[in-house]
Amino acid sequence: MLFRSCLRGRWARPLIAFIAASSLLAGYVYLSVRPSYTLYKSLERLDPEHSHSVIKPSQKYVRFKQLQGAGFNNQAQEILLFHHLALSSGRTYAYQPLIWRPRGEHATVPLSAFLGGVTRNSISSAVFDEICPESEVKHVKLWDTYETLWTKTINALRGPERCIVVDDWIMYWGFLASDALHDIWPGFKDYLREHFQWSRFITEIADRAQSQLHLRSHTSQSEGEPYTALHLRRGDFEEHCHVLAKEHTGFTTWATLPELRSRVAHPPLDTENATSVVEHCYPSLRRILSVIDEHAKAHPHIRALHMLHDGAWDHPTVYIQVQKLAVALMDASRALAAGWTNGPMKIITHSGMLPVRLGEADWAVTVDVEIARRADFFVGNGFSSLSTQIIALRLGADNGRPEDIVFY
């Protein structure tokens, strides 16, 4: 009734204009967050050609059972380990597409749009099916104790069979958080240095973001400010951390490395103590500020900070927390009271400010990882696979120093 009388009355035109404008805006937002279909389609066409071009006689291949879902970094961390396993045993890796939840529960996107290094000398799973008919495939199950899994897998993959499919999922969370990973680290570091590469799309956007946000890489002499990257992991961690506390879970993957043991903000993590787990996994803003205070005092030349965060429509309060931190860190009197000798932060940027263009939204998370990799200093969350991916790239691919990392 009201609506119809509005349409007839003097509100008609403004109302129609408003509805038209909102649908245009909604359409724009929808399009800009949607993946770039055209690009994905063209990559899906090119990938088989590329796979065929890397095939050589007497080559051996392996395909693993992979995680079907979770976030980008959870998938990426095991894809990198699988690729490393394949190369270490003299096999070509058969890669699978990424599962991309923002596009739908079981939606997939081409891996080559993200991990250029992994896909360069590998074949796609579809091409594996072409060249490895089922009658010529050896199926293996490899799960073992954490300590023996890696060696057992390498030994199995060194076998004479041309095509191997690993049927069981071997990258259990428990394995990824265990000390068994420490023995793998030296080899994995070399692997990252030699083989890790983003797709060119990601590197391009990261370069653009740094130049527009005025953040200078620690390896470059270009324009901009040296900066710290802070990973604020909130979102679903609010509940997740309490589950981890109850289960007495510690840090994950590379955050457990012995060389980083002294890089945890005081008091140290005590997994027997549930309060301590939550304190490190979902710290108060006050605690995060005090970690940055320590760091800002020790590095008076760094007065720019980039915050990686997971604010989204379903976690809107994260934006408020980002804003609160930004206000506190740019407050001159607070900085003085906290003992900063060189004034407060001059530049604060965050994930929401990345200059991501139409159709580039899928890359935002990887661009954030790359920006944190290039920072002078990194403050991260030892329970997060995004933080540990950054650690792997800094310490492994770039041979960086543990001293330039701290876990809150």
Instruction: Report the site for ligand NAG in 191-250 (rule: CB under 6 A).
Output: none
Residue placing its CB nearer to ligand NAG in the complex, 273 or 317: 273
What is the token pair recorded at 156? Answer: 């199995």
- Residue 271 makes CB contacts below 8 A (sequence gap 6+) with 248, 249, 250, 277
Instruction: Report the site for ligand NAG in 16-45 (rule: CB under 6 A).
Output: none
Residue placing its CB nearer to ligand NAG in the complex, 245 or 395: 245
Q: How far is the CB of 270 from ligand NAG (least distance, A)?
A: 6
Residue placing its CB nearer to ligand NAG in the complex, 287 or 346: 287
Q: Using CB under 6 A as the criterion, what x/- string covers residues 270-289 for binding ligand NAG? A: ---x-xx--x----------
Instruction: Calculate the alpha carbon distances from 285 to 42, 161, 233 in Å.
Output: 44, 55, 12
Task: State the angle between helix axes of 317-329 and 285-298 in degrees (0 to 180), rounded to the nearest 10.
Answer: 30
Q: How far is the CB of 223 from ligand NAG (least distance, A)?
A: 42
Q: Is 335 helix (H, G, I), strand (E, B) or coil?
A: helix
Question: Cβ distance 91 to 165 under 8 Å?
Answer: no
Residue placing its CB nearer to ligand NAG in the complex, 279 or 310: 279
Q: How many CB atoms lie within 10 A of CB 174?
A: 10
Exposed, middle or buried: residue 233 (CB in 10 Å: 0-12, 13-18, 19+)?
buried
Q: How far is the CB of 332 from ligand NAG (least distance, A)?
A: 31
Residue placing its CB nearer to ligand NAG in the complex, 38 or 275: 275
Q: What count of Cα atoms within 13 Å lies in the side-chain half-sphere of residue 224?
A: 27
Residue placing its CB nearer to ligand NAG in the complex, 268 or 355: 268
Q: How far is the CB of 290 from ligand NAG (least distance, A)?
A: 13
What is the token pair recorded at 402? Answer: 């543990």
Q: How far is the CB of 255 from ligand NAG (least distance, A)?
A: 18
3-state secondary structure 192-242: HHHHCCCCHHHHHHHHHHHHHHCEECCCCCCCCEECEEEEECCCCHHHHHH
What is d(CA 217, CA 398) in angstroms, rounded to the nearest whole number?
12
Q: How far is the CB of 124 from ligand NAG (least distance, A)?
A: 48
Residue placing its CB nearer to ligand NAG in the complex, 54 or 274: 274
Q: How far is the CB of 304 from ligand NAG (least distance, A)?
A: 30
The type of residue at 167 is D
Question: Please, which residues bridge with residue 226 across strands?
Answer: 216
- Does the footprint of ligand NAG cover residue 267 (CB under 6 A)? yes
Q: How far is the CB of 269 from ligand NAG (least distance, A)?
A: 9
Q: How far is the CB of 279 from ligand NAG (least distance, A)?
A: 5
> Closest CB to ligand NAG belongs to which residue?
273
Residue placing its CB nearer to ligand NAG in the complex, 267 or 343: 267
Q: How far is the CB of 275 from ligand NAG (least distance, A)?
A: 4
Beta pairing, strands 108-109 & 98-99: antiparallel
| Binding residue count for ligand NAG, defined by CB under 6 A | 5
Only segment of 214-222, 247-255, 269-277, 388-396 that touches ligand NAG (CB under 6 A): 269-277
- Residue 84 makes CB contacts below 8 A (sequence gap 6+) with 187, 188, 191, 195
Per DSSP, the residues of 274-325 read: HHHHHHHHS--HHHHHHHHHHHHHH-TT--EEEEEE--BTTBTHHHHHHHHH
Q: Using CB under 6 A as the criterion, what x/- string covers residues 167-196 for binding ligand NAG? A: ------------------------------
Residue placing its CB nearer to ligand NAG in the complex, 108 or 290: 290
Report cis status (omega within 30 of 0) of the bond before 48.
Answer: no
Residue placing its CB nearer to ligand NAG in the complex, 279 or 368: 279
Only segment of 105-113, 150-158, 196-204, 268-276 that touches ligand NAG (CB under 6 A): 268-276
Phi, psi of 379 (to 5 degrees): -110, 115
Q: How far is the CB of 283 from ligand NAG (least distance, A)?
A: 10
What is d(CA 137, CA 163) in angstroms, rounded to the nearest whole number?
5
Residue placing its CB nearer to ligand NAG in the complex, 111 or 277: 277
Which chain residues interact with ligand NAG by CB under 6 A?
Answer: 267, 273, 275-276, 279
